[in-house]
């Protein structure tokens, strides 16, 4: 795979483009925009979780309400205790039932207090999440516009560089450009580097036999960093 001046110039122009991309990526406007965007992406999932929990709490409330209604009905029956005793009812039996009913009431009261605490905690969490969502919606809109503005401010530079690269690409073999683009996507940069003595820029040494392959302007892929190495 031969190296050429056009290919090196193509990489130089690409380096200018990459510098702009990195500056845009590191901008505060993009960071704030991405932060809000990521929050909005997970907000729906979290809201669904909260809705599910609300349904669970509502079911627990309905269950407790049914148990309270049942005990209220039983308690109402004790209003006619005198008549029941006169009719031959067993007082010990009624006392045992009353004690069991009292234990149930205590249990329900404990569950009810716990449920109230969970409902209050869920309500507080939902309130905070709603406030955060509103703030992030505002941040998303604000910094999306700001990021668009700074990206637009570099649009002419990007256009000029892309034009230069397009012109150079016509003088470079398609298969070489394909390899270059593949490595660019892998975030390898610079992609094409000169041999430094016997070493690649990553520090990997090139044996003499392998250096011979570099004769005549050929490029060899470094086994360590996967860059394309050539000899000046």
In a domain, 82, yes or no: yes
Q: 176 in a domain, yes or no?
A: no
**1 falls within a domain:** no
> Which residues, in sequence order, are CB contacts of 105 under 8 Å at separation 6+?
71
Compute the distance between CA of residue 10 and CA of residue 172 in angstroms, rounded to an integer.
9
Q: Is the dihedral of CA 100, 103, 109, 112 positive or negative?
A: negative
pLDDT in tens, 2-61: 889 999 999 999 999 999 999 999 999 999 999 999 998 888 788 778 778 778 887 887
Domain count, the chain: 1
| Chain segment 73-94, per-residue pLDDT in tens | 776 666 555 554 555 555 565 5
CA distance 128 to 114: 21
* Residue 223, CA distances (Å) to 3, 143, 175, 216 in order: 18, 42, 20, 20
Longest dimension (CA), the chain: 120
| Sole residue written with tokens 């009261």 | 109
Whether residue 226 lies inside any domain: the answer is no
Q: What is the pLDDT of residues 179-228, one digit of tens each?
A: 999 999 999 999 999 999 889 999 999 888 778 888 878 899 998 999 99
* E strand or H helix at 38: helix 28-77
**Is residue 114 in some structural domain?**
yes
Please check whether residue 123 lies inside any domain of the structure: yes
**At residue 106, does pLDDT exceed 80?**
no
Instruction: Identify the three-state secondary structure at position 214.
Output: coil
- pLDDT tens for 112-163 read 778 778 878 888 888 888 889 899 999 999 999 999 999 999 999 999 999 9
CA separation, residue 15 to residues 8, 10, 11, 60 (Å): 10, 9, 6, 62
Which residue in the block uniquely carries the two structure tokens 């094409």? Answer: 192
Q: Which domain holds residue 137?
A: 23-168
Q: Is residue 65 part of a domain?
A: yes
Are the beta carbons of 218 and 2 closer than 8 angstroms?
yes
Asked if residue 126 belongs to a domain, the reply is yes
């Amino acid at each position: 795979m031969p190296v050429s001046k056009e290919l090196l110039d193509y990489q130089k122009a690409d380096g200018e483009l990459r510098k702009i991309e990195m500056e845009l990526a590191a901008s505060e406007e993009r960071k704030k925009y991405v932060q809000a965007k990521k929050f909005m992406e997970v907000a729906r999932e979290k809201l669904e979780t909260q809705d599910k929990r609300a349904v669970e709490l509502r079911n627990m409330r309905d269950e407790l309400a049914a148990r309270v209604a049942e005990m209220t009905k039983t308690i109402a029956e004790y209003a006619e205790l005198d008549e029941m005793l006169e009719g031959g009812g067993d007082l010990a039996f009624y006392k045992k039932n009353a004690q069991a009913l009292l234990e149930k009431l205590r249990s329900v009261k404990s569950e009810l207090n716990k449920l109230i605490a969970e409902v209050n905690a869920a309500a507080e969490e939902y309130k905070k999440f709603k406030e955060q969502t509103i703030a992030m919606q505002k941040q998303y809109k604000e910094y999306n516009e700001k990021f668009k503005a700074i990206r637009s401010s570099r649009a002419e530079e990007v256009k000029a560089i892309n034009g230069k690269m397009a012109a150079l690409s016509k003088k470079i073999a398609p298969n070489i450009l394909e390899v270059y683009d593949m490595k660019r996507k892998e975030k390898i940069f610079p992609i094409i580097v000169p041999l430094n003595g016997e070493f690649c820029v990553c520090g990997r040494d090139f044996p003499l036999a392998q250096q011979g392959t570099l004769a005549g302007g050929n490029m060899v892929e470094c086994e360590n960093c996967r860059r394309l190495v050539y000899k000046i």
